Copies of this chain bind each other. A is one copy, B any other.
Amino acid sequence: MEEVPGSTGTSAGFALRLGQTIFSSASLLFMSFGVQFYSYTSFCFLVTIMGLVIPWSFALALLDGYSVLVTNPVRQKGILFIIVIGDWLLSTLTLGAASSAAAVVDVLLTADGAVCLPKICSRYLISTIFAFLSWFLSMASSLFNLWILPSL
């Protein structure tokens, strides 16, 4: 049984999960305090998806932290399969939400009139950047876990 850094049950995997939790929380917070997010469907979608990613990543961060402490990684094929499917689904949704939010931010920033105050617009932008970072880490987790799946 080879150890792939970044897969479930390794310290790199724990770091990836922690990063996902932090980035998606940051994305959610920046979006929630920009009080007009519910005016745009894309921002509502982003908030919904971030609300799904945070508990998922946090739970898996706990699982990884526990595995690292007891040095006995969870390596049952069924569990890993569910983790891969979940990661893949959430990373696809995160990418879709982040892209939609980026498109709306672009429309707002390049609009002729002042559609949103600069302070609010920059909040939307920062939230979108955090969502992309969260997608990147989530995709990495998914690929690492998919890589070790056939060897189980």
Q: Which residues of A are interface residues toward B (Cβ below 8 A)?
A: 40-42, 92, 95-97, 99-104, 106-107, 110, 146, 150
Asked if B106 and A42 make an inter-chain contact with CB atoms under 8 angstroms apart, the answer reads yes
A35 CB, nearest partner CB in chain B, Å = 19
Docked complex Cα distance between A147 and B101 (Å): 32
Tell whether A95 pairs with B99 under 8 Å between CB atoms, given A41-B110, A110-B41: yes
Residue of A42, A92, A99 with most partner-chain B CB within 10 A? A99
A97 CB, nearest partner CB in chain B, Å = 7
- Across the interface, which residues of B come within 8 angstroms of A92, CB to CB? 95
- Across the interface, which residues of B come within 8 angstroms of A99, CB to CB? 95-97, 99-100, 103
Docked complex Cα distance between A129 and B41 (Å): 17
Asked if B40 and A107 make an inter-chain contact with CB atoms under 8 angstroms apart, the answer reads yes
Docked complex Cα distance between A92 and B92 (Å): 8
A-B contact pairs, 11 of them (CB 8 A): A41-B103, A41-B106, A95-B96, A95-B99, A96-B99, A99-B99, A99-B100, A100-B103, A100-B106, A103-B103, A104-B107
